Amino acid sequence: MNIARDKLTGEEIEAEELKLLISVEKANYECIDVNCRIRLIPCSFEKHHKPRPYFKTEQGVTHTLECTFSQYTELQNQSRIIDVSVNGLFPVPYPSKLVKPSRKTIKTNKEENDHLNPRIIKNVRGVIDNLQSEERKRNRVVTALGQIVDFYLNFPNNRDNSLEILNIHSEYRFLFKRIKGKSEGQYKGRKIYFGRVSLSDDNVIERENRLFIQLYEFDKWIKNDERNEPKNNYTISIDLIQLSNHKKTKILNELVFATIEQKNDEDEETKKKAYIFFLGDPPKEDTPYLFTVYENYVVCRYDEILRTGRRVRS
């Protein structure tokens, strides 16, 4: 599992953040579902560990039957192949709303409490009398972009699920946009943009209080000295003035994890690539290949981007 609840703060923590902590209390983490709360053990968080950090259960201990987060995780075993919805509805709470972190939201948000009700599964599988009420119960409010990205990657047949990102309302399929090809008019509005990460050693530059990350996405190939080279690579820009060193390090660590995973993968037939996902704004007319990241909403994943399923709600 890549997320747990910190028992001292009551906040959710992503596994990648473990490497940034001064010390990691191994007994301090538990399942995020209020009906479960079994202990989760942090792993691979030391500085010398190369694999991504993660959480695991204690030996011989399993999640409770009422744990909807465990049910959500188990759905991923088949979600890349089939539509896992039941009666046209997603059967367990899923990340449907991204909000800015605040202790008040995490501890007392009514939507967060509603989604943990174990009766949700029974209601979805039975006769649905009140669609609006059931839709509200299935919402899972999150503060980390990574959970939104992981749903997009793992549930390609359910990307017509509703999604709200900082008060922007739409569906998963419309709020994600791949960066590829010519810039002219194809990128519009704030959304989650993503593209392949450049694997060159100089793909990150810090200049004038900004962090620039070059992508392996470009306008077109051109011939140069008898070989083809990319023309007009896309770049993303992150404002460092409002960014803490902690968050800056987290972003750079994400980049390192994804690139190492790609470089170390010996499967020559894999379709996986290192991708960077960010909530941001499209290029402006005078800088047609430069995206601007909104605050610090950036994550990287080494994965295959599957085509969006054809199921569409009527």
Residues of the chain under the 50 pLDDT cut: 104-136, 312-314
Question: How far apart are alpha carbons 299 and 22 in whole angstroms?
Answer: 22
Return the pLDDT at 129: 36
**What confidence score (pLDDT) does residue 88 get?**
81
In the chain, the domains with their CATH numbers are: 3-175 (no CATH), 178-303 (2.40.50)
> How much is the pLDDT for 148?
97
pLDDT at 118: 41
159: number of CA atoms within 13 Å, CB side? 21
| Structure-block tokens of residue 214 | 């070059």
Which pLDDT score, from 0 to 100, does residue 184 have? Answer: 84
Q: How far apart are CA 158 and CA 150, in angstroms?
A: 12
**What pLDDT score was predicted for residue 22?**
83
Q: What is the pLDDT of residue 108?
A: 31
What confidence tens digit (pLDDT) does each residue in 55-113 have?
999 999 999 999 999 999 999 988 998 999 988 889 999 999 999 886 543 333 333 33
Q: The tokens 């992150």 sit on which residue?
A: 238
N- to C-terminal Cα distance for the chain?
Answer: 34
Share of the chain above pLDDT 70, in %: 86
pLDDT at 153: 97
Q: What is the pLDDT of residue 137?
A: 52
